[in-house]
Amino acid sequence: MIDSHAHLISDDNVAYPRVGADCTASCIMTVEQLLSEMDATGVDRAVLVQRGSVYGFDSAYVCDSAARYPKRLAAVCSIDGSRSDGAEMVRYWVKDRGAAGIRLMELVRGEDAGWLGSTEPGGAWREAAERDVPVCVHFFPWNRLEGLARLRSILADIPGLKVVIDHFGAMQSDAGPPHHGVDAALERLADFAGVNVKFTTIPLGKLAEAGIDAGPVLRRVMDLFGAERMMWGSDIAQSPGSYAHMTELARKAVRELASADQEAILSGTARRIYGARWA
C-alpha cells in the first residue's frame, strides 16, 4: 500500500520555520512519526506532499525527509505558479533537491487564477513536461470550475503532461447517484491520458460522516479514468483522525473492486507516477 498524500510538520521550528497556519503540538507529524504509523498500518511507502498553508513554498522538510529514507518516501514540492522563473524553481526542487513532483495550489483564497501558472517559456509547466515531472494540482470548491477549465487549456497546449488532481478535484462527492458529483468539468479532463485523480480522507471522511458508501463514488470516477489513473492518499497532518482510520477508510472504499483495480488504486498508480527512485 502506498500513501500518495502524506503531509509532514516538523517539531523543529528553527530548522524548518512555519510561515503559515498556526500549528500546535497536536498537529505535528514528523517523518519518524509517519514511518511508525505506516509500519503499524501496513503502508509500505508514502509521497510527502508539501503543506503550503504551513510552509509556503519552502519544501525543505519533505525533501530532506525523502532523502533520508529514499526507499520508502518521495517528495512533492509546492511551486509558485505565478512566478516568471517557474522553470528555475522546478529545476531546483527536482534536480538539486531530489523531488519526485511539484504541486500548484491557491495559498490565499480569492487569488486570481495566476497561481495555476501559464504555458509560456520559462514557466513551471513546460519545464515539468520536458523533465517528465508530474504536476499535482489542488482545487477548492470556490475555484474548481475556473481552475479545471484552465487546466484543460494547459493540457491542450502542452502534450504529454503528467498531472495528478487532488481530492477528486473538489467535486461534490456526496451528491448521490447517478453521477456522485462527477460533472462535465472533471469529465472533460479524462480525455487526456496523462491526467490522474487522487482521492483522500477529505472526500472519504465526508462520505463516512454522511453514511454514504464510497464504493459507487469510486466506480463512477473509474468509469472515466480507470483504476490505473486513480490513487489514494491519507491527507495525514491536515484531515482529522488517526492514520489507522484513514487507511481503514481507503481499504473499505475499494473492497468491492476487482483485486487488480484495488492494487492499482492503493499502490500501482502512485508507484508509476512517483516511484522512479524506489526501483
DSSP conformation letters of 51-75: -HHHHTT--HHHHHHHHHSTTTEEE
pTM of the full predicted structure?
Answer: 0.95
* Residues 258-275: tens digit of each pLDDT: 999 999 999 999 999 999
**211 conformational bin, left if phi > 0, alpha if psi -120 to 50, beta if neither:** left
* Residues 135-193: tens digit of each pLDDT: 999 999 989 999 999 999 999 999 999 999 999 999 999 988 999 999 999 999 999 99
pLDDT for the residue 83? 85
pLDDT for the residue 118? 73
* Residues 26-81: tens digit of each pLDDT: 789 999 999 999 999 999 999 999 998 899 999 999 999 999 999 999 999 999 98
d(CA 18, CA 72): 25
pLDDT for the residue 107? 73
Q: Which residues contact 144 (CB under 8 A, 6 or more apart)?
A: 169, 170, 171, 185
Residue whose C-alpha is closest to residue 49's, from 10, 18, 77, 79: 77
d(CA 273, CA 152): 20
Domain ranges for the chain, please list them.
2-278
* Average confidence score pLDDT of the chain: 93
pLDDT for the residue 108? 65
Assign 220 a pLDDT band (cuts: 50, 70, 90).
very high
CA-based radius of gyration for the chain:
17
Give the residue-averaged pLDDT of 123-132. 93
Q: Which CATH class is domain 2-278?
A: alpha beta
d(CA 240, CA 209): 12
pLDDT for the residue 112? 65
d(CA 178, CA 31): 41
d(CA 141, CA 192): 22
Residues 125/158, Cβ–Cβ less than 8 Å: yes
The rounded Cα 7 to chain-centroid distance in angstroms is 10
Give the residue-averaged pLDDT of 101-115. 78
pLDDT for the residue 119? 79
Half-sphere exposure of 188 (CA within 13 A, CB side): 14
Assign 87 a pLDDT band (cuts: 50, 70, 90).
very high
Half-sphere exposure of 88 (CA within 13 A, CB side): 4
Residues 261/254, Cβ–Cβ less than 8 Å: yes
Does residue 117 carry a pLDDT above 80?
no
Does residue 219 carry a pLDDT above 80?
yes
Residue whose C-alpha is closest to residue 155's, from 197, 184, 188: 188
Q: Which residues contact 69 (CB under 8 A, 6 or more apart)?
A: 31, 35
